[in-house]
Amino acid sequence: MVETVKLAAQPRDRVGKGAARAVRRAGRVPGVVYGEGQTPDLISLDPRDVTREMSKTGFFTRLFELDLGDRSIRALARDIQFHPVTDAPEHVDFLRVSDTTRIRVAVPVRFLNSDKAPGIKRGGVLNVVAHNVEVFCSITTIPRVIEVDLAGLDINDSVHMSTIQLPEGVRPTNSRDFTVAAIGAPTVMRSDDEAADAAAKAAASAASAAAAGGDAAKAGAAAKPAAAAKK
């Protein structure tokens, strides 16, 4: 079941950049709620509430109940704009929804049981290909996160979307069986192998040089008696 969060909001009646700047000067974050074929609602929010909700996982997958005092609006956050210098939230777009609304939403991926993955225990590196997976579902079945179990995975093993169980009524928008993550060989292991190969080659070269030197010495020793006999 999707998580629902109540968020206090205040209506505002003016549109435009000047009106939005006035809202921000008053210490609030302007926003808009659109969708469901209705006239957009202009609202403002407490920046502390916005920052608090943004700090939690799955900001765009939580269902918000925007409390306007005399009425409330169910909505999903769809976009947020930030100040280019301070990174403070400057505007929030919400999509108005109902029980029958079906949407595309990007759900964050969470990886479990890395301590039970032999490949990671051996120093392998988890290469995450998809940090989020876009799914199509109703608002009542939006997963907060998609969990991927790493238990039993070894080096060079990978996790594909087809192996992940999604809630009923939820399906990925990408029909291809794409890779979500893979466990790669550790860089240190590759370096050690390369060093071992180099050492083996150096030892072989040294042995060949020693053998060649020994043969030359033997040939020189044999040549000395022959030269003395000629004298």
pLDDT tens profile 112-147: 999 999 999 999 999 999 999 999 999 989 998 999
DSSP string over 97-146: --TT-EEEEEEEEEEE-GGG-HHHHTT-EEEES-SEEEEEEEGGG--S-E
Q: Which residue has the higher pLDDT, 72 or 223?
A: 72
Closest C-alpha to 43, from 28, 56, 54:
28
In this structure, which topology does domain 103-185 adopt according to CATH?
Answer: RNA Polymerase Alpha Subunit; Chain A, domain 2 (2.170.120)
Which pLDDT does position 15 carry in this prediction?
83
Phi, psi of 31 (to 5 degrees): -155, 170
Average pLDDT, the chain: 86
Residue ranges with strand state E in the chain: 4-11, 29-35, 38-45, 63-67, 72-82, 89-96, 102-112, 125-128, 132-138, 146-149, 158-160, 171-172, 179-184
pLDDT of residue 140: 87
- Percent of the chain predicted with pLDDT > 90: 66
Q: What is the pLDDT of residue 149?
A: 95
Residue closest to 54 by CA, chosen among 4, 26, 92: 92
pTM score of the predicted model: 0.69
Query: What confidence score (pLDDT) does residue 200 get?
Result: 64
C-alpha distances out from residue 40 to 33, 43, 161, Å: 5, 10, 37
Confidence check: pLDDT of 203 > 70: no
On the question of pLDDT at 17 being above 90, the answer is no
Condensed to tens digits (0 to 9), the pLDDT of residues 51-102 reads: 999 998 889 989 999 999 889 999 999 999 999 999 999 999 999 999 889 9
Do the bridges between strand 146-149 and strand 125-128 make them parallel or antiparallel, or are there none, so unpaired?
Answer: unpaired
Tell me the HSE value of 53 on the side-chain side, using a 13 A CA sphere: 23
DSSP state of 71: -
- Where are the domains positioned within the chain? 4-98, 103-185
Q: What kind of architecture, by CATH, is found in domain 4-98?
A: Beta Barrel (2.40)
Segment 32-58 mean pLDDT: 93
Rounded-to-integer distance, Cα 109 and Cα 147, Å: 6
Using the predicted structure, report yes or no on whether residue 22 has a pLDDT greater than 80: yes
Question: Which value, in Å, is the radius of gyration of the alpha carbons in the chain?
Answer: 33
Check whether 2 has a pLDDT greater than 70.
Answer: no
More confident residue, 203 or 47: 47
Nearest residue to 8 via CA among 28, 25, 22: 28
**Higher pLDDT pick, 188 / 229:** 188
Lowest mean pLDDT among 37-51, 55-69, 177-191, 208-222: 208-222
229 sits in which H/E element: helix 187-230
